[in-house]
Amino acid sequence: MLEVSRLRKVYGADPQAAPAIEEVSFEVADREFLCILGSSGCGKSTLLKCLSGLIPASSGEIRLNGEPVTGPPEDMAFVFQDYSRSLLPWMTVAGNVSFPLRYKGLSKREAQAATDEALDAVSLAGMHKRFPWQLSGGMQQRVAIARALAYRPKILLMDEPFASLDAQTRSGLEDLLLDIWRRFEVTVLFITHDIDEAVYLADRVLVLEAPAKVGLDVTVPLPRPRDQLTTKALPEFAELRGRLFSAIQGAPVAR
């Protein structure tokens, strides 16, 4: 569904400057849950911004369903780490969720139905009239997820969406996301620096080494549906976690 070939990104005009992304190639299949794992500063956000067409790549190619990506594609939605900056504080929850729908040409009634369904999916039914600042961090991020869902994307790009949340809220949102992924039949590209989160969520994990190049590409052999307690207690979970840890630390690993 998404093909990235030999993507390279150098910020600024100097082509000799150190690249934020050295060279990255990978593919994402339809309905796949792919996690991209890498330490801070290795180029994860840069990669996602290039994939979404928000910033131009320096070279290489990105194709979504065969079409080159040159600007933000119709079928794509994003969720960023910083929900306090991505939600509009002067708009209600419903206003925030329905805001992008005006660019989809939906009637008022259709937009309202999509908003209701999305808020329902993130368990925020009835919160329409609240303002973001009246909600907890976890609830605000659920609003941001609802806004992405209401748009009915085929592919959802998420940049460390749970990194600013406490551990308990975070695991709740991981499970919510898995449920949404299954019900809404979306492809998810999820960026994180958290190994456990990547293994728990993904069908497949890519490890980015700085400056971003793909260091490891592993399939997650864990059964679904997953569960915070039983899945994380499986020996396969521990084994994969160890492998990814070594890869991120730069230790030699069996590829």
Query: According to the binding rule CB under 6 A, does residue 58 interact with ligand ADP?
Result: no
Which C-beta is closer to ligand ADP: that of 83 or that of 237?
A: 83
Query: According to the binding rule CB under 6 A, does residue 161 interact with ligand ADP?
Result: no
Query: According to the binding rule CB under 6 A, does residue 45 interact with ligand ADP?
Result: yes
Using CA atoms, how far residue 134 sits from 69, 154, 166, 224, in Å, is 37, 31, 18, 35
Count how many Cα atoms sit within 13 Å of the Cα of residue 197 in the half-sphere of its side chain. Answer: 25
Residue with tokens 């991020």: 141
Which C-beta is closer to ligand ADP: that of 132 or that of 211?
A: 211
Closest distance between ligand ADP and the C-beta of residue 44, in Å? Answer: 3
Which of 44, 147, 213, 226 lies at the binding interface for ligand ADP (CB under 6 A)?
44
Q: Which two tokens stand for residue 118?
A: 């999305």
Tell me the C-alpha distance between 21 and 42, whole Å: 8
Q: Which two tokens stand for residue 101?
A: 């729908």
Q: Which two tokens stand for residue 120?
A: 């329902």
Which C-beta is closer to Mg ion: that of 83 or that of 237?
A: 83
DSSP code, position 233: G
Which stretches does DSSP call E strand in 99-186? 155-159
Q: Which two tokens stand for residue 215?
A: 């260091």
Tell me the C-alpha distance between 10 and 220, whole Å: 32
Which of 10, 36, 42, 156 lies at the binding interface for ligand ADP (CB under 6 A)?
42
Tell me the C-alpha distance between 116 and 119, whole Å: 5
Closest distance between ligand ADP and the C-beta of residue 88, in Å? Answer: 23
Contact positions with Mg ion (CB under 5 A) in 33-52:
44-45
Which C-beta is closer to Mg ion: that of 38 or that of 132?
A: 38
* Binding segment toward ligand ADP, per CB under 6 A, in 25-33, 44-52, 76-84, 233-241: 44-52
Residue with tokens 């299954």: 182
Which of 15, 41, 56, 242 lies at the binding interface for ligand ADP (CB under 6 A)?
41
Which of 11, 29, 67, 250 lies at the binding interface for ligand ADP (CB under 6 A)?
11
Which C-beta is closer to Mg ion: that of 86 or that of 115?
A: 86
Binding stretches for Mg ion (CB under 5 A) = 44-45
